[in-house]
Chains A and B, each alone.
Chain A
Amino acid sequence: MEFTYHITGIDGLFILAMSLLLGFEVIKNVPAVLHTPLMSGANAISGIILFGGLIQLMRTPPDHYWVLLFSSIAVLLGAINIAGGFFVTHRMLSMFQVNKKKDVKK
């Protein structure tokens, strides 16, 4: 199965413009309670920069040791960014959740 989804320059700009509008709309009215989790969640998502490194890591012939080494480092760093971010966001949000369950019991 051939992957055909490639975006050209103007497509990119379309996506950029639309998602900018969408992005501001989606998170416009977030209550202050959720600012920290939202920020650490966003920080986690920004780690998707590692996709670039992943492409490099997959496409480098196995005898190009240096490229392999550096792209592994890049993927590692990006993936720590993602994993750490989501885990810590989950930890924070679960704390809010516990408090709410307690309310129900009262």
Chain B
Amino acid sequence: MEFLYLIATIGLVLGLKYMGDPAKAVLGNLVAAISVALALIGVAVNSYGPETGVLNIVLVIAVLTAAIIIGRLMAMRVPMTGMPQLVSLLNGFGGLAAVVISLLEGIAHPIGDDMRTAGGLLILSAVFGGVAFTGSLVAHSKLEGKKLPRARLRHKIAARLVLATMVVLFVAYLVWPSALMPFGTLLVVMAVLSLVYGALFTLPIGGADMPVLLCFLVALHGVVAILAGLFFQDPVMLIGGVLVGAIGSLLTVAMSKAMNRTLRSVLAGVIKRDNSAGGREQDIRPISAAETASLLAFSRQVAIIPGYGMAVSQAQGVCQEMQVMLERMGATVHYIIHPVAGRMPGHMNVLLAEANVDYDQILAMEDVNDVMDRYDAVLVIGANDVVNPAAETDASSSIFGMPIIRAYAAKQVIVLKRGMATGYSGEMNLLFDRANCRLLFGDARSSLRAIIDELKRI
């Protein structure tokens, strides 16, 4: 059994390492999954004791089978646009599991005052689990676009108060255990407070900041696994938790950087608003689908910059169709992806992969930004802030300093847009003022369809 555990631990690390390599990622996922299954068997066999009856074993097998079936159904049904929702929902499940486990452990096996380390670990894992649970549920509803109560100042104040109460209770426990209340009661109180806190603290976080929040919640869940690993003295849980925590926090930092936000301002729910150029009339030059098509037909180098707007109107497939047509006409087509395109890190890559876009046609912002002038035409589909030159030129803009794709440097830019609404930042897009930029109004999907029809005629 020790060996089973050793293999599982090594497998987890190797699996994650492979998952960072495009060529081995599928294998990596498999290795990680098998490792978890092995460790699961190890834990089950090891905890077989004199009190274990047939009922226990039947329950374990039944519950695990049910979970695999439910998990598989959820995984197969979700559309790729719904990936962030699924991840947040699953993360929430895990958080709730942590709360239930901690409560059971604390109530069923009372922890004496002399075991403050164990008690503290248990409380912390319940608290972090609780925050991860309700936090993930709020994130899930926000991603689904459900109406939630508007965040007000009093939510933030309430969140601070709840947090302060939890800190005071926790410190009090460490100094004078059982002075205020017995351990079991304290655990329940802390768990309830953490559930409230999780909801209060995620409520004011803006929809545009969901990628950061999601990474943060995953990291938080990793911390729960670390705490539980220390409590149950289980090395696989500990190492697994550390790896998850590392991935979550690295991605959190990467995302905040790409959005030009500090993690603190995201978590504090600060939404930057200020408008230097507000109200100014912009000089817009519209373009028709027919003109766009002829322009594209004469371009050798075409770049497509997709944003979440493209996914919303389900235009990936049509876009890929157009790309194939252009290639048949002799053009080279690239997709350029901004790190925060989509609703979670790397989301746009998944959406394009689903639409059968070839892996090597997808370029990252950093790779092409210096050679944008080689593109004869750049098509911006459903993206806004990530191509706004204000980030580079207008120091008073709220997005100033954010890395952007330098679409403006291309010979011709065509922006597919539903209307004149601004992006998430609320900033006016200075790109539209540029002489080489024209706007094609309409739903992305129907606009692309119209371009394809026109291309067929050429």
Interface residues of A (CB under 8 A from B): 1, 3-9, 12, 15-16, 19-20, 22-24, 26-62, 64, 67-68, 70-100, 102-103
Interface check B396, CB cutoff 8 A: no
Whether B90 contacts A85 by the Cβ 8 Å rule is yes
Q: List 7 A-B contacts (CB under 8 A).
A: A27-B247, A43-B87, A49-B237, A57-B59, A80-B90, A86-B33, A90-B33
Contacts of B78 in A (CB 8 A): 88
Q: Which chain B residues border A12 with CB–CB below 8 Å?
A: 229-230, 233, 238
Contacts known (A46-B94, A79-B68, A95-B350); A5 close to B2, Cβ less than 8 A: yes
How far, in Å, is A89 (CB) from chain B's closest CB? 5
The count of A-to-B residue pairs whose CB atoms sit within 8 angstroms is: 370
List the B side residues contacting A41 at CB < 8 Å. 15-16, 19, 28-29, 32
B20 touches A48 (CB 8 A): no
Task: Write the nearest CB–CB distance from B334 to chain A, whole angstroms.
Answer: 14
B72 lies within 8 A of A51 (CB): no
The reply to whether A75 and B236 form a contact with Cβ atoms under 8 Å apart is no
- Interface size (B, Cβ < 8 Å)? 117
Question: Nearest 7 pairs between A and B by C-beta?
Answer: A83-B71, A35-B346, A79-B67, A23-B246, A84-B71, A87-B75, A35-B345
- Residues of B at the A interface (CB closer than 8 Å) are 1-2, 5, 12-13, 15-17, 19-20, 22, 25-26, 28-30, 32-33, 36, 39-40, 43-44, 46-49, 51-57, 59-60, 63-64, 66-68, 70-72, 74-76, 78, 80, 83, 86-87, 90-91, 93-94, 96-98, 100-105, 108, 117, 125, 129, 214-215, 218, 221-222, 224-226, 228-248, 250-251, 337, 339, 344-347, 349-350, 353-354, 356-360, 362, 364
List of B residues within 8 angstroms of A19 by Cβ: 238-239, 242-243
C-alpha gap A93/B333 in the complex (Å): 23
Cβ-defined contact, A43 with B218, below 8 A: yes
Contact at B218–A37, with CB atoms within 8 Å?
no
Do residues A37 and B101 form an inter-chain contact, with CB atoms below 8 A? no
Contacts A31-B22, A59-B51; is A72 near B63 (CB within 8 Å)? Answer: yes
- Chain B residues lying within 8 Å of A96, measured Cβ to Cβ, are 22, 25, 353, 359
The distance from the CB of B46 to the nearest CB of chain A, in whole angstroms, is 5
Which residues of A sit under 8 angstroms from B13, Cβ to Cβ? 22, 26
Most A-side CB within 10 Å, residue of B52, B100, B349: B100
